[in-house]
């Protein structure tokens, strides 16, 4: 199990309805995209961090380990805005207004990533997917997603075991050996993926699969108090953003 999934299953908000956490987490994501990047981005990021580290109870180290990957993509996406290819100044030159555009993009995307992480750290996929059927998503689509979610963890476990076996057999002692081990790992994982899929199909057929996977979903009721607090937080972030812009900050 990935660390973020383990954190979601042990979250303080595990037993809350996913709709509540979607309103808060995805609402902050939408706010980061729609509000002006300054000061909207920092305000949304501060609100998301406050909820993650406070009421949600996410450990700072866990949050950083999960956030550094999307943050890297945010930085990588902002860097091209700093340069311009072609033009009167040569093949490569500083882009007019590039630093400002790059900063705006970085503020928006990093704040939006924190909003998504708030939802991911508090909502296990196994609690979310079965409820999508009630929201109108076709049941076969949800069933395929559940099966792929399960197979993904099995393959990750298999890959970890294969790497351990290769390391025990000195498969990473040199660059050439490392490349051979990587090729063997890819080939074995590919074969095992098909084997897992075939075994899963046989198991479902043996259990009389009729097109719907029936799973137990933990009962949870929507808390209007929580939704009201989430709406108040989003409204406060929006009001503070436009208020600070009105003051010229």
What pLDDT digit, counting tens, does each position of 144-165 carry?
777 777 777 778 778 888 888 8
Average pLDDT, the chain: 83
Q: How far apart are alpha carbons 162 and 248 in whole angstroms?
A: 58
Q: How far apart are alpha carbons 108 and 100 in whole angstroms?
A: 12
Q: Where are the domains of the chain?
A: 3-123+220-246, 131-206
Residue 123: the pLDDT is: 86
Please say whether the beta carbons of 96 and 29 come within 8 A.
Answer: no
Indicate the Cα dihedral angle 172, 177, 152, 211, nearest 10°: -150
Reported pTM: 0.76
Please say whether the beta carbons of 8 and 120 come within 8 A.
Answer: yes
Residue 30: the pLDDT is: 92
* 212 pLDDT more than 70: no
What's CA 28's distance to the chain center, in Å?
Answer: 14
* 106 pLDDT more than 80: yes
First to last CA, the chain: 44
């Amino acid at each position: 199990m990935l660390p973020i999934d383990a954190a979601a299953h042990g979250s303080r908000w595990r037993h809350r309805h996913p709709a509540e956490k979607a309103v808060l987490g995805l609402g902050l994501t939408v706010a980061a995209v729609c509000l002006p990047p300054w000061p909207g981005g920092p305000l949304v990021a501060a609100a998301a961090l406050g909820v993650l580290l406070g009421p949600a109870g996410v450990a700072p180290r866990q949050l950083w380990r999960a956030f550094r990957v999307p943050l890297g993509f945010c930085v990588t996406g902002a860097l091209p805005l700093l340069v311009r290819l072609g033009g009167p100044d040569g093949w490569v030159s500083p882009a007019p207004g590039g630093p400002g555009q790059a900063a705006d993009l970085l503020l928006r995307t990093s704040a939006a990533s924190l909003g998504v992480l708030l939802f991911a750290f508090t909502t296990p996929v196994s609690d979310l997917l079965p409820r999508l059927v009630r929201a109108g998503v076709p049941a076969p689509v949800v069933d395929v997603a559940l099966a792929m979610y399960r197979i993904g963890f099995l393959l990750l476990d298999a890959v970890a075991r294969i790497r351990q076996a290769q390391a025990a057999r000195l498969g990473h002692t040199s660059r050439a050996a490392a490349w051979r081990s990587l090729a063997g790992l890819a080939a074995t994982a590919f074969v095992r993926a098909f084997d897992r899929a075939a075994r899963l199909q046989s198991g479902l057929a043996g259990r009389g699969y009729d097109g719907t996977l029936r799973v137990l979903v933990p009962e949870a009721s929507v808390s209007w108090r929580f939704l009201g607090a989430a709406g108040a937080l989003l409204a406060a972030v929006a009001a503070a953003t436009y208020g600070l812009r009105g003051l010229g900050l």
